Structure 1
Amino acid sequence: MILIGQYDSPFVRRVAIALRLYGLDFEHRQWSTFGDADRIAPYNPLRRVPTLVLDDGEVLIESAAILDHLDETIGPSRAMIAERGPRRREALKVCALATGLGDKAVSLVYERLLHREKSDVWMKRCETQIAGVLDALEADRAGRRFAFWFGDEIGHADIAVACVIRFMQEAHSGVFDAGRWPALAAHAGRCEALPPFQEIAQPFSAPGD
């Protein structure tokens, strides 16, 4: 398999960490959506990452779809999410909130760095959405007494939240307040201490750098 995208993307990183935790071998092509867009295009016409090229040449795009395939490949007994029922829906909701949070954080990067005329209204909207999601995730995580979100084993929800928090901390200094969201800060710290998180990491680089 070939994973395309840089690890400073929380979406690429969550896929790479899942691959490592599943023990699945892959080649990493550290292509940027800006500098390497023409190299990505033959695999993904959206020129977005993550993009995963399977051994038979099939191409998967979007982190949730890629992880769904990996779960199917690894089997339900090892998949890092419940196979069905309320536990699966709970985990998918946390993942959706985390990836939505990531989308808003990325939007803020583009607005601040790529647009000459910045929209204060749009930036305020993104910041309000980010704070609202962090409040919701904080309340959920603080009410759980497991090592990870849904038990003592790490899952996709844990990875998604941790990857997005790291991205926000690096891309938007001061946006994530550990004092306001202590359960999330502790959660991210626990995940980031694990070897796959330490191995699969890349400092944030602004578009065009």
Structure 2
Amino acid sequence: MRLFSSSASPFAAKVRMAARHVGIPIETLAADTGAEPADLLAANPLGKIPALLLDDGDILFDSAVICDYLDRRSGHRLVPQDEAGWLQVKRLEAAADGVGDAAILSLYEVRYRPEDKRHQPWVDKQMRRAFRGLDFLEAHVGALGPEPTTAHFAIAGLLGWLNLRFEGQWEDGRPHLVAWLAGFADAFPAYEELKPRL
């Protein structure tokens, strides 16, 4: 299997960590979404990463869908199958993904728009969403158990990306998330290799 990815993406990092945890080998293919390469667009018409090319030629995209596929392939080693456990993991995974979506949109406003075209109220709205989501994760991350799930990998990918793009801007008032990431990195040594990086 081959994964269209970028080294910095929190969503691609989530998939890379999940695959490593369950022992499913994935070859990563660097993709520059800004350039809209033809091979990426053939894999994902939305032009977004990650996108996974299966060995049979089928295609999956969106990190949550890819991780659900890895969960099924691994005998449900990534998501609990009891209702309460499933709800907790999927809720926290969705919150982490939503924080990432909002923060990335605010970053892109600065990165891709000329200064005179930027709309600061829109950026502020995205960051309010991101910070509310982080506050939700701060309040609930302690409920995650020690066995890694897609929620663990989504949160770890997100926080690793925030450390790249918003270091010093997200940590205040969120000691549980800061401590959780340090503990996760100790418990999952592959994090250092697979986390978002420039």
Q: TM-score range by the shorter chain?
A: over 0.9
- Deviating above 4 A after TM superposition, structure 1's stretches of 4 or more consecutive aligned residues are none
Q: After superposition, where does 1:8-87 map in structure 2 within 5 Å? A: 8-35=8-35, 37-76=37-76, 79-87=77-85
Matches within 5 A, 1:28-177: 28-35=28-35, 37-76=37-76, 79-116=77-114, 117-142=117-142, 144=143, 149=144, 151-177=145-171
Aligned pair partner of 1:184 in 177, 180, 185 = 177
TM score, norm. by length of structure 2: 0.92
In structure 1, give the amino acid aligned to 2:99: L
The alpha carbon displacement at 1:170 in A equals 1.0
Q: Are 1:81 and 1:155, in contact at CA under 8 Å, matched by a contact in 2?
A: yes
Note if contact 2:4-2:51 (Cα within 8 Å) is conserved in structure 1.
yes
Aligned residue type for 1:86: A
Number of equivalences: 195
Question: Identity across aligned pairs (percent)?
Answer: 27
Shift of residue 202 of structure 1?
4.5
The residue identity in structure 2 corresponding to 1:189 is A
Q: Deviations over 1:58-104 (max 9, x none)?
A: 1001011111111111113xx12111412101110100000000001
Structure with higher helix content: 2
Gap regions ≥5 residues in structure 2: none
What is the deviation of 1:36?
A: 5.3
Residues 126-181 of structure 1, C-alpha deviations (whole Å, 9 max, x = no match): 11111111111111125x4xxxx1x221111111111101111211233212x410
Q: Give yes or no for contact 1:5–1:33 (8 Å, CA) kept in 2.
A: no
Contact persistence 1:105–1:130 (CA under 8 A): yes
For 2:179 and 2:28, the matched residues in 1 are separated by 29
| Contact preservation (8 Å) 1:33, 1:48 | yes
Q: Distance in 2 between matches of 1:136 and 1:196?
A: 26
Structure 1: any 5+ residue segments left out of the alignment?
A: 205-209
